[in-house]
Amino acid sequence: MKALRLKEILCVLLTVAFIVLVTRHEPPSSVSAQDMAAALCRVTDVSALDECKNADFRREIQLNPNDYDGVVFYSSPNIMEVRELLVVRLTDESQGEALTECLRSRVEEKRKLFHAYAPEQEALLDGYVLENTRGFVLFAVSENPEAVRQTFKETL
């Protein structure tokens, strides 16, 4: 009987410890999506890209931009242009999974499109950057993926 009670108490203590641990992870960054995008634009060339409106985000990503705290999206209507930069500041960190899943399938679709006939585009897509941390999702297809990743982490 006592052993059973001890196991119950142990479960409660472990649950409390778990909750303390998950609530003590790094909090969401206070940087705005615009500031983050501005910092990233300094390390990746977006001059050939357009800053997209909400409707473009909805059409391209098929998610509602109003669900997020901030969205900055650079893309191009040119079909052969694969470079993109997307910065999303999440309202709730739980939104990150759906968004990253969506972006992953977007890259896969594009990769199939360019496979075997446009090696440059395919190589750029292979090095795509996708980060989901501290309330931000970053997606970039760029010539400088490492610089983008590094700047993103530093700006956070």
Partner 1 sequence: MVFSSAVFLFLFLPAVLVLYYLPVFFWNDAWETARKNTVLCLASLLFYAWGEPVYVILMLLSIAFNYYIGLDIGRHADRPSRQKIILAAAVVFDLLILGFFKYGNFLIDNLNGLLAWDIEPLQVSLPVGISFYTFQILSYVVDVYRGTVKPQKNPVAFAMYVTMFPQLIAGPIVQYADIEKRLGKRQVTPESFFDGVTVFLRGLGKKVLFANTIGRFYTEIAAGDVVHASAATMWLGIACYTMQIYFDFGGYSDMAIGLGRMFGFEFLRNFNFPYLADSVKDFWRRWHISLSSWFRDYVYIPLGGSRRGTLRTVINLAVVWSLTGLWHGAAWNFIAWGAFYGLLLIGEKFVWAGILPKIPGWARHIGTMMIVMIGWVFFASDSMGDAVVFLRSMFCLNGNAPWDAAFVYYLSSCAFPLALMSLSAFGICDRMPKPRRQALRLAGNGIFYAVVLVLSVICLVSSTYNPFLYFRF
Phi, psi of 91 (to 5 degrees): -75, -35
Task: Restricting to residues 101-140, name those near partner 1 by CB under 8 A.
Answer: 101-102, 105-106
- Residue 78 in the binding site for partner 1 (CB under 8 A): no
Q: How are beta strands 136-141 and 84-89 bridged, if at all?
A: antiparallel
Report the alpha-carbon distance of residue 112 to residue 132 in Å, rounded. Answer: 24
- Residue 27 in the binding site for partner 1 (CB under 8 A): yes
* 4 or 116: CB nearest partner 1: 4
Report the alpha-carbon distance of residue 72 to residue 52 in Å, rounded. Answer: 8
Closest by CA to 113, choosing from 84, 138, 69, 81, is 81
Q: Which of 45, 50, 51, 97 contacts partner 1 by CB under 8 A?
A: 97
- Residue 34 in the binding site for partner 1 (CB under 8 A): no
Residues contributing to the site for partner 1 (CB under 8 A): 1, 4-5, 7-8, 11-12, 14-15, 18-19, 22-23, 25, 27-28, 54, 58, 61-64, 66-67, 92-94, 97-98, 101-102, 105-106
